[in-house]
Amino acid sequence: MGGSRMAVRREPVAGNIVSNSAAAVEFRNVTVRIGETRILDNLSFRVEPGETLVLLGRSGSGKTTALRLINGLLFPTSGVVLVDGRPTTDCNVIALRRGIGYVIQDVGLFPHFTIAQNVGLVPRLEGWPAEKIAGRTRELLQQVHLDPAKFENRRPRELSGGQRQRVGVARALAANPKLLLFDEPFGALDPVTRRELQDQFIELRESLRKTSVFVTHDVGEALRLATRIALLDRGKLEILAAPDEFLKCEGRETQAFLEVLNSGPQMNANERE
């Protein structure tokens, strides 16, 4: 780990993918309708504990909507979304959200809080003792390679985009949730910083063993980060497969994305082993 840029080895996250155990997240015949439009159409899939499921699709494909169903920011028109075996409509949605880390493209750090206060937010809501929060904050900032002494008392506006997103990730991890949701978290960053944060994501994933659902429209990013890729096309699931199989898929939308990969300047696919 650390700074070396060796080819990323895509090992399966060992020991955590057991098909008999309860899925971390499950969609069963989920439809989300706004008026006449079906944003999601009879969507069914499972997210296994410990995996990184990437929801890939173009703008309007429904991937962000699907993500927001998981932490109860949205509820299905029909069908059910289960988190840890319980329907989202059936649990205390506040408790549900506190147990799920959420990282979005615009980060959404509170401008009137210091970095430390931002990171420690959920622990504070959960009533952790101040000492514990301070220690946890320092630990997390170090994990995302931000020197606590330097950054703790700064305000978000003093940080660069990449630094802010690192704080966003630290904040999502603060209360040690089992599940993390990412909505195009690196989309607003320059390619170099994006690459660095992807590396960091992989590094953290390897050491923390969390379940992640990651939304992106960048097929290179998907191939790099995913345990499995779920490709959404106009609210329907076209394919759900590990990257190797994804590359071989004949589906129309898959081909469209692979076309971009082959003709574009990014050579992310070559990093995949």
Partner 1 sequence: MRQGLWNEILNQTAEHAVLVLIAITIALAIGIPLGILLTRQKSLRRWALGFANVMQTVPSLALFGFLIPITHIGKPTAIVALVLYALLPILRNTLTGILGVDAAVRESAIAMGMTGSQLLRHVELPLAAPVILAGVRVATVTTIGTATIAAAIGGGGLGVFIFRGIASVDTTEILAGAVPAALLALLSDGGLSWIEKRFSPA
Interacting residues toward partner 1 by CB under 8 A: 71, 73, 94-100, 102, 104-112, 121-122, 125, 155, 171
Q: Which is nearer to partner 1, 21 or 176 (CB)?
A: 176
Q: How far is the CB of 146 from partner 1 (least distance, A)?
A: 18
The least distance separating partner 1 from the CB of residue 101, rounded to whole angstroms, comes to: 9
Minimal distance in Å, beta carbon 194 to partner 1? 18
Q: Which is nearer to partner 1, 164 or 217 (CB)?
A: 164
Name residue, tokens 């759900």: 240
Residue whose CB is less far from partner 1, 52 or 71: 71
Angle at 122 between CA 116 and CA 126, to 5 degrees: 125
Integer Cα distance of 193 and 179 in angstroms: 24
The least CB distance from residue 117 to partner 1, in Å, is: 10
Provide, rounded to whole angstroms, the least separation between the CB of residue 34 and partner 1: 17
Closest alpha carbon to 186 in 216, 213, 156: 216
Measured from the CB atom, the residue of 3 and 111 that comes closer to partner 1 is 111
Between residues 39 and 174, which has the closer beta carbon with respect to partner 1? 174
